[in-house]
């Protein structure tokens, strides 16, 4: 029984430089990722910033009860998951399609130019992007309305931003516009790692372009896609904050408000930090559960997994 232990110690000792080197990282993780978890205790208190820990009033699950009894929070939850899901699916589909199409372009210069142009919006901040979006959708000479009217699809400008049911679509489209080029990069990299002889063999067998895309390129990047899906599922409770905050308004609030905005309004802005913490804990728990679920599913299908 002692044998494995001593061999563990032995291995530790033989790798002591490695151990020492990883120490700062461990400290870092502890300091910034685990130590703050202490703050979770706030969720079970009526937290007042000025009081010390022992002076705080403990209220049990009151904050959680408020969250789940509140109609708004349920709407907010729906919005968050829906918008996140839309962004996830749209993001993946468009990026993969775009990457495959880009890959088919043979002129290097042309390909480079398209790629650069498509990922530039990624570097704009959301405040700028939402400004552009709001301008484009404006009733007052916004380009979308102008184009649609010139083409004869509509007779009167549509107030895009005050129609609740358009909101998710607008957010999804803005995300695609901003991130498509950036998301493509990783798939392009994955595609380059596919063995060229596969394509040559397929060609000899008489496969056309679409066959090759379908049977070689797509399977070639499958594992990358799955890893990315698993990783991104962890963020499903983060549908974003800026887009919804800047584009949203009173009229569309039932469809635009996300958890983060709710927390800002009912937590930070009115000084109810406990509520904010409770919502944060809820988000984390759901995210972790989702990651594990996705991971198990991937395992079942015999694919590469994250953990």
Partner 1 sequence: MGVITRKRLWGSLSLGIALSLALAGCGNNNNSSNNSSKSNTAANQGTTDQAAGTANTDSGSNATASDDLKPITISAFIGSPNQQPTADNRIYKKMQDELGVKLNMEFLVGDLQQKLGVMIAGGEYPDLITADPKLVTAKAVVPLEDLIDKYGPHLKEHYANYWNQMKDSSDGHIYWLPNYGAYTGDFLATNYSGPAFWIQKDVLKDAGFPTPKTLDDYFKLISDYAAKHPKTVDGQPTIGFTTLAYDWRTFPLTNAPEHLSGHANDGGVVVDNGVASVFATQDIAKTYYKKLNDIYNQGLMDKEAFVQNYDQYIAKVSTGRVLGMFDQHWNFQDGENELISQNKIGETYVGFPLTYDGVTDHYLDRPVLNLNNGFGISKDAKDPVRIIKFLDALMTEDWQKTLSWGEKGVDYEVDANGKFTRTQKERDEQNDPTWKLANKADAFYGYAPKMEGTFTDGNATSAGTQPDEFYASLKPQDKEILDAYKHKTWTEFFTPAPENPVAYPAWNIDLIDGSDASVANKQMTDATLKYLPQAIMAKTEKFDTVWDQYVNAYKKINVKAYEDRINSQIQWRTQNWSSN
Q: What is the CA radius of gyration of the chain?
A: 25
Task: Give yes or no for residue 36 binding partner 1 (CB under 8 A).
Answer: no
Task: Give yes or no for residue 27 binding partner 1 (CB under 8 A).
Answer: yes
Task: Give yes or no for residue 259 binding partner 1 (CB under 8 A).
Answer: no
Whose Cβ is closer to partner 1: residue 228's or residue 276's? 276
* Stretch of 7-15, 138-146, 173-181, 209-217 lying at the interface with partner 1 (CB under 8 A): 138-146
Dump strand ranges (E) for the chain: 45-46, 57-58
Task: Give yes or no for residue 41 binding partner 1 (CB under 8 A).
Answer: no
Token pair for 154: 């509509």
Task: Give yes or no for residue 23 binding partner 1 (CB under 8 A).
Answer: yes
Give the 3-state DSSP-derived string for 226-265, with helices as H, strands as E and coil as C.
HHHHHHHHCCCCCCCCHHHHHHCCHHHHHHHCCHHHHHHH
Task: Give yes or no for residue 253 binding partner 1 (CB under 8 A).
Answer: yes
- Least distance (Å) between residue 244 CB and partner 1: 14
Strand, coil or helix: 139: coil
DSSP 147-171: HHHHTTS-SS---GGG-GGGHHHHH
* Stretch of 176-184, 203-211, 272-280, 285-293 lying at the interface with partner 1 (CB under 8 A): 272-280
Task: Give yes or no for residue 205 binding partner 1 (CB under 8 A).
Answer: no
Return d(Cα 149, Cα 138) in angstroms, integer: 13
Binding mask 141-160 for partner 1 (x = CB under 8 A): ------------------x-
The count of C-alpha atoms lying within 13 angstroms of the C-alpha of 23, restricted to the half-sphere facing its C-beta, is 8
Contacting positions for partner 1 (CB under 8 A): 17, 20-21, 23-24, 27-28, 31, 46, 48-50, 52, 71-72, 134, 138-140, 159, 161-162, 249-251, 253-254, 264-266, 268-275
């Amino acid at each position: 029984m002692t044998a494995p232990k001593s061999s563990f110690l032995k291995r530790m000792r033989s790798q002591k430089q490695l151990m020492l080197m990883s120490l700062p990282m461990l400290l870092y993780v502890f300091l910034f990722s685990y130590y703050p978890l202490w703050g979770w205790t706030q969720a079970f208190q009526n937290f007042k910033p000025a009081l010390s820990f022992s002076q705080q009033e403990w209220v049990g699950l009151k904050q959680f009860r408020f969250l789940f009894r509140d109609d708004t929070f349920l709407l907010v939850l729906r919005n968050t998951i829906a918008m996140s899901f839309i962004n996830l699916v749209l993001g993946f589909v468009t990026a993969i399609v775009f990457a495959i199409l880009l890959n088919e372009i043979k002129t290097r210069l042309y390909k480079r130019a398209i790629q650069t142009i498509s990922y530039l919006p990624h570097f704009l901040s959301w405040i700028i992007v939402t400004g552009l979006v709001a301008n484009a959708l404006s009733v007052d000479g916004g380009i979308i309305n102008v184009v649609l009217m010139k083409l004869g699809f509509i007779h009167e400008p549509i107030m895009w931003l005050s129609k609740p049911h358009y909101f998710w679509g607008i957010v999804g489209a803005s995300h695609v516009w901003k991130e498509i080029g950036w998301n493509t990069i990783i798939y392009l990299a994955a595609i380059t790692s596919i063995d060229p002889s596969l394509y040559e063999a397929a060609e000899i067998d008489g496969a056309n372009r679409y066959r090759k895309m379908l049977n070689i390129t797509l399977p070639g990047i499958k594992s990358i896609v799955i890893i990315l899906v698993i990783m991104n599922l962890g963020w499903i409770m983060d549908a974003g904050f800026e887009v919804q905050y800047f584009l949203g308004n009173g009229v569309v609030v039932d469809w635009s408000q996300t958890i983060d905005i709710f927390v800002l309004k009912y937590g930070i802005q009115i000084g109810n930090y406990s509520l904010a913490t409770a919502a944060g804990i809820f988000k984390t728990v759901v995210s972790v559960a989702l990651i594990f679920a996705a991971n198990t599913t991937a395992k079942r299908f015999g694919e590469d997994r994250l953990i």
